Amino acid sequence: MDKFETILKLRNSQEWIEFDRYCNTGFLEQIDFFRYEDMHTNFLASLLKEDNVFGLGTKPLKLFIELLKVKDKNHLESKLQQDLLSNYSVSNIEVLTQESIDVGRLDLLIKFNIGNNKYNIILENKLFSEESSEDQTKRYKEYFDNHFANDNNIYVFLSLDNNLEISAGNDYIRVDYQELVSYVLEPCSYLENNSLASISVEEYLKGFTYLCEFGYMPITSTLRKLSVAIYNNYCDILMNILNGDREDEYSEFYNNNIKQFKILFTVLENEGTTNKNLKDRISKKVFGKVGRFRNKDNDIYKYGCREQTKMVRDILKDLIDNGYLKTIDDLDELKFSDNSPWKPAITEEQYKAVGNKQSNYTKDDDLILESKTLYYSHPVFNEELKGFVACVIEKYPNYKELIDIY
């Protein structure tokens, strides 16, 4: 069987077609909402309401409460004394987003009763960024402990990465999106019936494949099943694709379906297979270096595919330190691409004006132009990185030999 016939065998298989359909996140990807924390907070809020449009009543909130107890049983033992496996009831549910309090603005506040006991869940949601201001979670806890001392206050920090440090430390229950998917969202997707929602829970779950570019992709059971099916039936073809030369048919097929392969190999690398040879090839081809930057001092930095943001930051720092970037206008000329509204860095005034996109920028005291501290873009797609590098080389040709994108 020649290479072309082998590729057709995979491409036209039921396993690949079903996998490819799942990876095409459609509407959510087109509107580019998935990178915004507010979108996820609002979707979760709509799900946890008792009169949710998914027709699930109090079930989503119960699932969430049960997840919190699993995550931090000792912390909640005195607060949630009910047997959560019994037919307990939740009442007086109130779900509020962007609730203003004296010390800030809460991402999500969930009020409810179990029996005669009153509860508040204070949830901070961070998709990519860390706490947006100093001692944010600590301040929220102190406020509720002082003003709602008679309530059972439960503090939750939701993020893609559970390794982020927060000022409140262990006073917040740490939940990552993988746990939210596995224990709350997927069960809801099985149960939703006669939904009036424009985006179903199932469609929302498919959208998480969008995050593959950023290195943190919660894996649904459906995606895992589809990926393992391809591995079980076409492992030899996958190895041929991973071992393909740059100019052969295998690499052409890979490059034309690079998003699908990144998703597939992310699943297989993390939990889909114990085949060490395959994992080693995946690590080298898919999750190896994507760029190299050698600054004016000849220091060489190599970046993995999850380090696009750091590469942008390092290039900006070098441009400023060596006097290439001198004004805000100079900075504004460096775009990720002609058709992208994203800028590699913005001023504090611009940061205040971007609204719910603030979570995509990180303040850096080492990046200063015209005495203004800059916020650099975070996160960054690989394609955006390529566009940014192209702009840098076009404006500053001396950098052509300093930057490589793989």
25-35 pLDDT, tens digit per residue, is 666 666 667 77
The verdict on 306 and 353 lying in the same domain is yes
Domain assignment present for residue 322? The answer is yes
Domain assignment present for residue 378? The answer is yes
Instruction: Summarize the confidence of residues 198-203 as an average pLDDT.
Output: 86
The verdict on 21 and 79 lying in the same domain is no
The verdict on 176 and 56 lying in the same domain is yes
The verdict on 104 and 156 lying in the same domain is yes
Domain assignment present for residue 274? The answer is yes
* Confidence (pLDDT) at 246: 62
Domain assignment present for residue 144? The answer is yes
The answer to whether the CB of 102 falls within 8 A of the CB of 134 is: no
- Where is average pLDDT lowest: 6-10, 195-199, 325-329? 195-199
The answer to whether the CB of 388 falls within 8 A of the CB of 312 is: yes
The verdict on 336 and 366 lying in the same domain is yes
Domain assignment present for residue 212? The answer is no
The verdict on 156 and 260 lying in the same domain is no
**Which residue has better confidence, 371 or 80?**
371
Largest CA distance in the chain: 73
Which residues are 364's β-sheet partners? 374
Q: Is 30 exposed, middle or buried (0-12, 13-18, 19+ CB in 10 A)?
A: exposed
Measured distance CA(306)–CA(284) in Å, rounded:
13
Q: Is the pLDDT of residue 52 over 80?
A: yes
Q: Is the pLDDT of residue 268 over 80?
A: yes
Residue 403's alpha-carbon distances to 72, 83, 295, in angstroms, are: 46, 59, 9
Most confident of the following: 220-229, 263-272, 307-316 = 220-229
* Confidence (pLDDT) at 82: 67
- How confident is residue 296, by pLDDT bands cut at 50, 70 and 90? confident
Phi, psi (rounded to 5 degrees) for 161:
-120, 115
Dump pLDDT digits (tens) for 223-248: 999 999 999 999 999 999 888 766 68
Residue ending a domain, choose from 254, 281, 308 = 281
Helix (H) or strand (E) holding 100: strand 91-101
The verdict on 68 and 155 lying in the same domain is yes
Measured distance CA(162)–CA(160) in Å, rounded:
7
* Confidence (pLDDT) at 83: 67
Mention every residue, 6+ apart, whose C-beta is less than 8 A from residue 400: 393
The verdict on 372 and 341 lying in the same domain is yes
Domain assignment present for residue 213? The answer is no
**Which residue has better confidence, 198 or 119?**
119
- How confident is residue 132, by pLDDT bands cut at 50, 70 and 90? low
Q: Is the pLDDT of residue 379 over 70?
A: yes
The verdict on 60 and 99 lying in the same domain is yes
Q: Number of C-alpha atoms within 13 angstroms, CB side, residue 312?
A: 33
Total domains, the chain: 3
Tokens 């793989």, residue located: 406
Q: Is 245 exposed, middle or buried (0-12, 13-18, 19+ CB in 10 A)?
A: exposed
Mean pLDDT value across the chain:
87
Which residues are 374's β-sheet partners? 364
Q: Is the pLDDT of residue 151 over 80?
A: yes
The verdict on 256 and 368 lying in the same domain is no
- How confident is residue 147, by pLDDT bands cut at 50, 70 and 90? very high
Long-range pairs for 351-360: beta carbons < 8 A, 24 or more residues apart: 351/375, 356/36, 356/37, 356/38, 357/36, 358/132, 359/36, 359/37, 359/126, 359/127, 359/128, 359/129, 359/132, 360/35, 360/36, 360/128, 360/129
Which residues are 97's β-sheet partners? 108
pTM of the model: 0.83
Q: Could you give the 3-state DSSP secondary structure of residue 169?
A: helix
The verdict on 193 and 58 lying in the same domain is yes
Tokens 């020649």, residue located: 2
The verdict on 340 and 194 lying in the same domain is no
Most confident of the following: 66-75, 177-186, 210-219 = 177-186
Instruction: Summarize the confidence of residues 129-151 as an average pLDDT.
Output: 87
Residue ending a domain, choose from 204, 235, 258 = 204
Instruction: Name the residue range of residue 307's domain.
Output: 289-405
- Where is average pLDDT lowest: 147-151, 303-307, 333-337, 373-377? 303-307
Residue ending a domain, choose from 150, 175, 204 = 204
Q: Which of 351, 342, 343, 349 is nearest to 325 (CA)?
A: 343
Domain assignment present for residue 214? The answer is no
- How confident is residue 371, by pLDDT bands cut at 50, 70 and 90? very high
Q: Is the pLDDT of residue 2 over 90?
A: no
Q: Which of 331, 366, 337, 325 is nearest to 350 (CA)?
A: 331
Domain assignment present for residue 234? The answer is yes
Measured distance CA(23)–CA(207) in Å, rounded:
8
* Confidence (pLDDT) at 198: 75
Q: Is the pLDDT of residue 288 over 90?
A: no
Instruction: Summarize the confidence of residues 189-198 as an average pLDDT.
Output: 79
